[in-house]
Amino acid sequence: MTANTYAFEARNVTKKFGANVVIEDLSIGFEPGMLHSILGPNGAGKTTLFNLLTRDLPVTSGEILLKGDTVTKLKPHQIARRGVGRSYQISSVYLDLTFQENVWLAAYRAAHGGRIGWWRRVEHYDALRAQASQLLSKLGLEQYEHTLARSVSYGDQRLLEIAVTLATRPEILLLDEPTAGLSQRETERVKTFIASIKTEYTIVMIEHKMNVVMEISDRIHVMNRGALIAAGTAAEISQNQAVHAAYFGL
Ligand SMILES: Nc1ncnc2c1ncn2[C@@H]1O[C@H](COP(=O)(O)OP(=O)(O)OP(=O)(O)O)[C@@H](O)[C@H]1O
Ligand SMILES: [Mg+2]
């Protein structure tokens, strides 16, 4: 990887659903080691961009590059194996498992491609459980280790979801609206949490809440109608007329 290679990049990407052009000739790159936010009105194509990056959806045309390599033809699990972790807009944790079980299951699946092997030695599971506990402590969630995901607040479930994503040991973390549906207090917690891990990962976060985006992002990318209309620091974006016109309707 050369110094100016993006961690993740979409190059001249177009995505159509039938006649509906959702992303049009979009080029966007995410520098390694930074916290990037993607802003944009509903329907701008943000989640679709994630789906194209992770190969959950095929591009209509254009290229996806991961750490400088073309990955446009890879399968989603191959993208994951190359160090990409993703959390979803709607929480996807297992409500009837404990925090520790959710985390170790994710770690296990990442390590073994989803197969539960009855032939594996019991020590192997113990090691994974210990790793899961360690991760939960690191994230300040140790009090919930043996608590069912169902019995905590939605905010704590969202934190668990991030922990589950981190259990797969990603280098690049894609977060789709991590504070969606959270109260102001819970939003603060998730924001602080993301800020606390941001030096360890390349993070790309889709987020609507302006205070979250402005306070913790190193770089902000603004999308509208499937195109990138601005990119820069919080200070630059808040001064940008195109962003005001398109996004704030001013
Ligand atoms: N699988 C799909 N099939 C058909 N149309 C789709 C599909 N996924 C997304 N779209 C359409 O693409 C457009 C962009 O959707 P997308 O979910 O990417 O928006 P978004 O920017 O994430 O919006 P939001 O902020 O509401 O989550 C929408 O018009 C949506 O209806
Ligand atoms: Mg979305």
189-231 pLDDT, tens per residue?
A: 889 989 999 999 999 999 999 899 999 999 999 999 999 999 9
- Asked if 173 contacts 165 with a C-beta cutoff of 8 angstroms, the reply is yes
Interval between CA 47 and ligand 1 midpoint (Å) = 7
76-121 pLDDT, tens per residue?
A: 989 998 999 998 766 679 999 999 999 998 888 877 765 555 555 6
Interval between CA 49 and ligand 1 midpoint (Å) = 9
Task: Give me the mean pLDDT over the 117-143 stretch.
Answer: 79
Pairwise CA distance, residues 240 & 249, whole Å = 13
The owner of tokens 């924001």 is 191
Structure tokens at 74: 């890879």
Q: Assign domain 1-83+173-183+202-250 one CATH number from 3.40.50.20, 3.40.50.300, 3.30.300.30, 3.30.70.920.
A: 3.40.50.300
| Residue to probe by mutation, ligand 1, list 14, 15, 46, most atoms within 8 Å of CB | 46
**Residue nearest atom 31 of ligand 1, based on CA coordinates:** 43
Residues of the chain with CATH 3.40.50.300: 1-83+173-183+202-250
User: Is the per-residue pLDDT at 238 higher than 80?
Assistant: yes
Mean residue pLDDT of the chain comes to 89
**Residue 112, pLDDT score:** 72
Ligand 1 pocket, residues with Cβ under 6 angstroms: 17, 22, 40, 42-48, 89
Interval between CA 59 and ligand 1 midpoint (Å) = 14
* Phi, psi dihedral angles at 85 (to 5 degrees): -115, 145
Q: Is the pTM of this model over 0.95?
A: no
**Residue nearest atom 16 of ligand 1, based on CA coordinates:** 45
Instruction: Write out the DSSP string of 159-216.
Output: HHHHHHHHTT--SEEEEE-TTTT--HHHHHHHHHHHHHHTTTSEEEEE---HHHHHHH
